[in-house]
Structures are given as C-alpha cells and as structure tokens.
C-alpha cells in the first residue's frame, strides 16, 4: 500500500500576475540510505519484517525485494539468504509529517536473527544522507566509505504499528542528515540518543573506544579496580554505558566476560561520582548500565568483579547520552514555487517556530536557473522576517536552515517558512559594479558606481532604485541612462535612493560618482530596483565580468586594507533639545553616532542618565555593525533608528524636564569604547 505525501508547498495568495504571491512550507522531505552486512551460517529462507517512516524500498544482495508507503503496517517478506555475507540495504524517504524518523527491521532464519540496533559491534548498521548513484551502495563495504556512519536511535509511535509483536527487541534506528530531524513537530535538531559519544575520543585505553571488535582490553585476575577512562571533550548529558565482551561465540563470551563493573562520571577528571554498577554478570556478550541523566565530561568503567582464575577481555565500551545535538543544518531541495521553468523574483521570507534563549536559528538562500550552477549562499539571517537578497530573476530557489544550541536539553524549531515572490519582474537583469574595490576604513573615498539594466517585453519597469551605502554619501555626479531624468535623490546613513521622473523601461546604464567612508572591513553596494508595484522589487547581481584593460574581475564590493580613526565617533543628539509633549513636533531626539571597524554585529549600549547618575532609559539598539547611525530622511521612520528616544524612562513614563547625559558604549574584545553627550528635555 502506498500513501502519497501531502504537498510540501502551498501558494497562500496570488493577487495578479504582477503581484507578489506567498509560498508556504510546513513539512520537509529527507532521504536516508541504510546498510547492514550480516553473516548467515548457510543458505536458507528467512522472514524479513520491517517498516519505516514514511516510505521505503528494501534490497537484499543487490536485488529489490519490497517497498511500502504506509509506516503503520509492518510488512513481512519471504527472502533467500546466501551462506556467508548478506547485504541488506534500505532507502527511506521521510515526508516530515510528525510521524517520527527511522526504521525497524527483523531478519529471522530458524534460530538466527538479525535486528535493527544501535549497539552492534561486529555487524553494524550504517547510514548516509548523501545521494547514492548507481548500485554500488547496495552491496559494497561501507565501513570505510566517507559519508557513511553508524546509526543512532530513531523514534516512531509503536502503538500505532500493526503486525509487530516486538518479541525480539529490535530498536528503531535512524540517521539524521545534517544533524536535523524532520519527523517531529517541525524541523529541529536531532536527538543524540543511541549515538556513541565516546567513539575515538581521547582515552587511557583507546582500544576499547574505537568501535572495533578486534582491539581488546585485557584485564588480569589481579587487576581489580583497573579502569578505562575517556575524555568526551566537553560536558555531555550522559545516560547509559554499554560494555562488549571480546569473542565470537557463546563459549568465548562466557570465558572473557567481566563479572561486574561500575560507571563513574567526573567534570574535572579528579573527583568522581559513581552513577551505576552491575554485578554478577550473566549476559556475557554485552551488558548495559543505564542511569539518571547527568552532565559529565569524563567517564570511566571500573572493573569491580573479576574471575580469580581467568583474564577478562573487553572489546568495546560505548557511552550514550540524551538531549539534542549542538548544531545542525537542513538544506532544501530546489524549489520551483509552483511555477516550473519560469523566472521569478524573491521578495521576502518569514518563518514561525521556537528559538529559546541560548539557541540560534538562521536562514540562507541561493538561486539557480538550471539546478547545476548556483549562486553563493546569502549571509546568515537570524531575524524571523527579512528581505530575500539573492541573484534574481531565477527559476529555482534553495534555502538552508542553520540550528545551534548552547544546551543539551533544548533546541530551536522551525515550524513553517513562507516565501514571498512574484512571476513578473521590474527588469530582466540588473548588474552592479563599483570602483575602487579597496579602501581604508575611516577614510573618505570617491567611488564610481555602474548599474546596467536589461528589459524584456512584459517587464514592469523601474520606478526607483535603492543603493546600500557604508555611510552618508555625497553625490558628485549622476549620469542617467539615455532619455531618463532623476526626479529626487535621498541620502541617509545607510542608503542612497533615486526616484525617476518617468518609468525606466529601456535597457541602459546608470553611473554615479559619490564620496563615502568605508566603516567595515568589507562592504557590498547591494542595489534593489523597485517597480510601480511596491511589493515587487529586484535585487541587482554583482557584475563579475573582467575589466577589458586589466583583466581583473569586476565587483560591487570594497575591501579594507587598512584602518584609521576611532572605533566610536561623532556621538551627538539630534536635536539637542526636544519637547516630548505629544504634539508630534520636535517630540523626540536621535542619538547619532558612527561605528567603525566592527564587521560582526555587536551589542551597543545607549544609556540615558539624569545628572545624579541614575539610569533613566536604556535604548534597545539591537546588534549593530560598522555604520553611520543618524536621523533618517523626512520620509523615514525615526522610531526605527537605534538611537531613538521619546523622552520616556524604562517604565514608559515621561521624564521630568532637565538636562540628561547620554552614554554610548561598545563592549569589544579589545576593551570598551565609550563616548558621552547631552540632551535637554523641555516642555
């Protein structure tokens, strides 16, 4: 039975061919390949029972033997095993419908059984999230192939399974490409349950933390309380230890087993706490000690009971934990947004989900026309809603979600992603370059800016252009395209905007000369072209052609090779006197300042004090990078300025008239940078 998945994307609204539409994504597909090689004593018939969330195809010794798309039913397949090595392969596609992640498998032949498990040592389940070309992956030895790793614990709702008696103890196993789980309520970091946290970590007896059955720790009868210790590198949330006895059959396991051991945990390697123990061991091949989850960096297994006449031989020790992985990344398939083979422009995105304190979720995007040649990934954006800045128009869009957490027990989650786009575009192509491409931070430089625009029939045309600026620019020359005239020019601390007297609809080039100061180590003169339809705009691409005279590639970026001047400068209030009496006339001030040489956004403190030194108001500036933060133009919203103050204290009460001190402080690795100014409040 095959159950088709719901569509992964949905057009929420389309106003007209020229208007922006929205595409919603609320489920995420993921394909994982699994492999197990196991040995049968002889050729024989066997029963293969399995299910997987959501759809699978299973292969035995290179041949497809079954498939299914209903994870709630366990299928039983009659298969033929060959004597010696048998190769089991399963391709699983998870549709992201909150049903879980992973698969569960039993292969039973007489008194022999092979199960899905996270703790195999000689017959190991492995997985890969990479696309598998051809058929080699069905039978090849994957133990040394890059991109293939051991499975960890998966999850599904076992009570909903039919046809599964669970008598053999098979585990739900899973692999999580990118460290991300698509099977829950949204997209989230994978669990670490079932993952061997000690594998190949620094240890006093590395032979038992290497995942290999052949390397053995031998304990003499008189070596009571000897131990194997591992350093996990960082504190982890630990919950279970597994110990594997060396040997190949029941007799060897019985001869080589430990009689008892204790598990101890430490955070400094000196003070140890016993968290669990086992004595009088009767399961000779493999034992496990589970304990209440505890944070620890160091763990050791202490031999507390030994046979007085025989050596004990330990093949491997595994340490598993709980919680979520520290980081993960999900990369989508290419998206056509319901319009295959059609160019589109990508306006904005917004996402819903959860981002608890101490966690991070950021988005990146890229575009392509053919699915082969892709643009670079856009810079990471951590805000839940932002402009989509990618080369456009393009047929295909792809996104990447980056997750991280500082905690073992909590992580961020993406529940939905909405992309605003349009089929029609202001222009068919727009490319930008500037010169020079090198400068000095803090020094005024004259730039020459070139914007080449191409139009096709049906394009909406360009009404205005917005160019990102590193600081307040002084425009010295405008050379418009033939037949075009600039109606208005607006300069702000971070942009230059040009409005055309008539709609620009003929291919041509705009050239500007202006003077501005570079305030970060690198700056891109990104440009957005707006159509008469306000919701539809086009991000210009970087012109990467080569200069015919020098052969050097063009660019729309400038990089710094030196820096001069202070990091924090030009701190003042504008206006220095204001009257917050509610008449919308001079009822606020802007704390203006210039930040230089800060390329990574930093928290900047803007604090207002009365003359007695009491903190009256702490402005919410957010994280800022180098730039000139000044009062916006008349048509701008002053409340969006990081230095906006409306004359109210932190409780929302208007302050009393008088003189107030303003402190702007940048807390940097090289020390605090602080500047003061004053402002007067009158009524």
Domain harbouring 38, CATH code? 2.60.120.260
Radius of gyration of the chain (CA): 32
Residues above pLDDT 70, as percent of the chain: 97
What does the pLDDT read at residue 19?
55
The confidence band for 12, taking pLDDT boundaries of 50, 70 and 90, is: low
Q: What mean pLDDT is reported for the chain? A: 93
Question: What is the per-residue pLDDT for 7?
Answer: 38
What is residue 618's predicted lDDT score, i.e. its pLDDT?
Answer: 97
| Banded pLDDT at 4 (limits 50, 70, 90) | very low
> Residue 398 maps to which CATH number?
2.60.120
Task: Specify whether 378 is located in the same domain as 447.
Answer: no
Q: Is residue 245 domain-shared with residue 362, that is, in the same domain?
A: no
Residue 336 belongs to some domain of the structure: yes
Instruction: Report pLDDT for 291.
Output: 96
* pLDDT tens track for 370-404: 999 999 999 999 999 999 989 999 999 999 999 99
Mean pLDDT calculated for residue range 117-139: 92
Lowest-pLDDT range, 273-282, 498-507, 596-605, 653-662?
596-605
pLDDT at 217: 97
Which secondary structure element, helix H or strand E, spans residue 377, and what is its range?
Answer: none
> Could you give the dihedral angle defined by the CA atoms of residues 32, 37, 38 and 44, in that order, rounded to the nearest 10 degrees?
90
How far is the C-alpha of 510 from the C-alpha of 53, rounded, in Å? 55
Beta bridge partners of 191: 324
261, part of any domain: yes
- Tell me what pLDDT residue 254 has: 95
Domains: count for the chain: 5
- pLDDT score of 16: 44
- Note whether residue 256 is domain-resident: yes
Digit-coded pLDDT (tens) for 159-182: 888 888 878 889 999 999 999 999
Joined together, the tokens standing for residue 358 give 């101490």
Q: What is the mean pLDDT of residues 115-121?
A: 89
Tokens at residue 250, please?
């029941």
pLDDT at 152: 93
The answer to whether position 1 is within a domain reads no
Residues 264 and 167 placed together within one structural domain of the fold:
no
Distance CA 491, CA 467 (A): 10
Q: What percent of the chain has pLDDT over 90?
A: 86
> Whole-angstrom Cα distance, residue 8 to residue 568?
48
Rounded to an integer, the average pLDDT of 213-240 is 95
CATH number at residue 652: 2.60.40.4070
Q: Which of 563, 592, 613 is the last residue of a domain?
A: 563
Residues 533 and 664 in one domain: no
Above 50 in pLDDT, residue 15? no
Q: Indicate if 299 and 336 belong to the same structural domain.
A: no
Average pLDDT over residues 598-621: 95
User: Would you state the pLDDT for residue 144?
Assistant: 86
pLDDT-based confidence at residue 17 (cuts at 50, 70, 90): very low
The model's confidence at residue 10, banded by pLDDT at 50, 70 and 90, is low
User: Is the domain of 67 the same as that of 169?
Assistant: yes
Query: How far is the C-alpha of 429 from the C-alpha of 586, rounded, in Å?
Result: 43
Q: Are residues 170 and 82 in the same domain?
A: yes
Question: Could you tell me if residue 196 is inside a domain?
Answer: no
Residue 125 reports pLDDT greater than 90? yes
Question: Which tokens go with 194?
Answer: 């079932």
Considering the domain boundaries, does residue 343 fall inside one?
yes
Sequence-ordered list of residues with C-beta below 8 angstroms from that of 152, at least 6 positions apart, any chain: 118, 173, 174, 175, 176, 190, 191, 192, 193, 194, 195
Match 């956004």 to its residue by tokens: 601
Poorest-pLDDT segment among 2-16, 254-268, 502-516: 2-16
Q: How far apart are CA 562 and CA 518, in angstroms?
A: 11
521-534 average pLDDT score: 92
Higher pLDDT, 140 or 634: 140
Last residue within a domain, chosen from 370, 403, 422: 422
Q: Which domain holds residue 508?
A: 429-563
Q: 292 near 197, Cβ under 8 Å?
A: no
Looking at residue 11, its pLDDT comes to 53
Give the global pTM. 0.80
Report how far residue 422's alpha carbon sits from residue 461's, in angstroms, rounded to the nearest whole number: 14
Q: Decide if 492 contacts 636 (C-beta within 8 A).
A: yes
**Residue 637 and residue 598 share a domain:** yes
Average pLDDT over residues 142-163: 89
Q: Note the pLDDT tens digit of each residue in 37-67.
A: 999 999 999 999 999 999 999 999 999 999 9
**Of 623 and 447, more confident:** 447
> Are residues 309 and 348 part of one domain?
no
- What does the pLDDT average to over 314-342? 94
Q: What is the mean pLDDT of residues 474-483?
A: 97
Determine, yes or no, domain membership for 192. no
Domain end residue (candidates: 150, 185, 220): 185
Identify whether residues 408 and 433 lie together within a single domain.
Answer: no
Residues 408 and 456 in one domain: no
Whether pLDDT at 13 is above 70: no
Provide mean pLDDT across the span 358-379. Answer: 96
- CATH number, domain with residue 465: 2.60.40.740
List the Cα angle 555/400/423 in 5-degree steps: 70
pLDDT of residue 157: 84
Task: Check if the beta carbon of residue 365 is closer than 8 Å to that of residue 390.
Answer: yes
Distance (Å, rounded) from C-alpha 669 to C-alpha 11? 47
Query: Do residues 307 and 342 both lie within one domain?
Result: no
Q: Is residue 4 assigned to a domain? A: no
Q: Which residues contact 651 (CB under 8 A, 6 or more apart)?
A: none
578 Cβ partners below 8 Å, 6+ apart? 586, 587, 588, 589, 647, 679, 680, 681, 682
Asked if residue 119 has pLDDT above 90, the reply is: no
What residue has token string 């792809």?
Answer: 398
Q: What is the pLDDT of residue 9?
A: 59
- pLDDT band at 14; cut points 50, 70, 90: very low
Highest averaged pLDDT of the listed ranges 20-34, 157-171, 306-320: 306-320
């Amino acid at each position: 039975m095959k159950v088709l998945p719901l569509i992964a994307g949905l057009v929420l609204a389309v106003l007209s061919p020229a208007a922006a539409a929205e595409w919603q994504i609320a489920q995420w597909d993921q394909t994982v390949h699994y492999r197990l090689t196991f040995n049968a004593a002889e050729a024989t018939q066997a029963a293969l029972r399995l299910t997987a969330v959501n759809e699978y195809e299973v292969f035995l010794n290179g041949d497809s033997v079954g498939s299914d798309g209903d994870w709630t039913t366990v299928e039983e397949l009659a298969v033929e095993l060959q004597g010696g090595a048998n190769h089991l392969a399963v391709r699983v596609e998870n549709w992201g419908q909150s049903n879980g992640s992973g698969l569960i498998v039993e292969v039973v032949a007489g008194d022999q059984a092979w199960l899905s498990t996270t703790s195999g040592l000689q017959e190991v389940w492995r997985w890969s999230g990479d696309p598998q070309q051809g058929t080699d992956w069905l039978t090849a030895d994957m133990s040394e192939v890059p991109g293939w790793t051991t499975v960890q614990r998966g999850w599904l709702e076992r009570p909903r399974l039919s046809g599964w008696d669970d008598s053999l103890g098979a585990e739900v196993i899973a692999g999580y490409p990118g460290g991300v789980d698509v099977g829950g309520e949204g997209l989230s970091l994978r669990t670490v349950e079932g993952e061997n946290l000690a594998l190949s970590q620094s240890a006093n007896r590395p032979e038992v933390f290497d995942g290999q059955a052949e390397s053995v720790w031998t304990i003499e009868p008189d070596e009571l309380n000897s131990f194997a210790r591992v350093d996990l590198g960082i504190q982890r949330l630990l919950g279970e230890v597994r110990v594997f006895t060396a040997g190949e059959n029941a007799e060897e396991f019985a001869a080589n087993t430990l009689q008892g051991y204790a598990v101890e945990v430490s955070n400094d390697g000196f003070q140890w706490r016993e968290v669990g123990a086992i004595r009088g061991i009767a399961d000779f091949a493999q034992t496990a000690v589970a304990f209440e989850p505890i944070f620890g960096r160091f763990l050791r297994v202490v031999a507390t009971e030994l046979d007085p006449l025989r050596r004990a031989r330990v093949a491997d020790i595994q340490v598993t934990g709980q919680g979520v992985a520290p980081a993960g990344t999900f990369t989508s398939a290419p998206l056509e947004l319901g319009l295959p083979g059609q160019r589109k422009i990508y306006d904005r995105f917004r996402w819903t989900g959860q981002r608890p304190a101490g966690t991070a979720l950021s988005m990146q995007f890229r575009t392509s026309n053919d699915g082969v040649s892709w643009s670079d990934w856009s810079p990471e954006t951590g805000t839940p809603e932002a402009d989509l800045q990618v080369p456009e128009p393009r047929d295909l869009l792809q996104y990447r979600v980056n997750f991280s957490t500082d905690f073992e027990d909590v992580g961020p989650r993406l529940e939905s992603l909405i992309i605003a786009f349009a089929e029609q575009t202001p222009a068919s192509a727009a490319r930008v370059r500037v010169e020079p491409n090198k400068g000095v931070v803090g020094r005024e430089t004259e730039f020459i800016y070139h914007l080449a625009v191409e139009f096709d029939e049906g394009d909406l045309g360009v009404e205005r252009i917005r160019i990102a600026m590193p600081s307040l620019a002084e425009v010295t020359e405008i050379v418009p395209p033939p037949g075009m005239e600039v109606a208005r020019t607006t300069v702000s601390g971070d942009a230059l905007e040009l409005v055309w007297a008539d709609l620009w609809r003929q291919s041509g080039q705009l050239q500007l000369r202006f003077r501005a100061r570079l305030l970060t180590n690198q700056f891109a003169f990104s440009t957005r072209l707006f159509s008469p339809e306000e919701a539809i705009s086009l991000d210009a691409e970087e012109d990467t052609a080569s200069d015919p005279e020098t052969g050097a590639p063009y660019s729309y970026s400038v990089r710094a090779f030196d820096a001069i001047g202070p990091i924090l400068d030009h701190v003042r209030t504008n206006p220095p006197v204001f009257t917050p009496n509610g008449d919308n006339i001079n009822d606020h001030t802007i704390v203006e300042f210039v930040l230089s040489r800060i390329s990574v956004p930093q928290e900047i403190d803007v604090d207002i004090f009365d003359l007695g030194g009491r903190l009256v108001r702490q402005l919410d500036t957010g994280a800022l990078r180098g730039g000139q933060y000044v009062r916006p133009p008349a048509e701008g919203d002053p409340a969006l300025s990081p230095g906006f103050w409306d004359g109210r204290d932190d409780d929302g009460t208007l302050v009393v008239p008088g003189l107030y001190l303003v402190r702007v402080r940048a807390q940097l690795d090289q020390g605090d940078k602080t500047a003061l100014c004053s402002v007067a409040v009158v009524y």
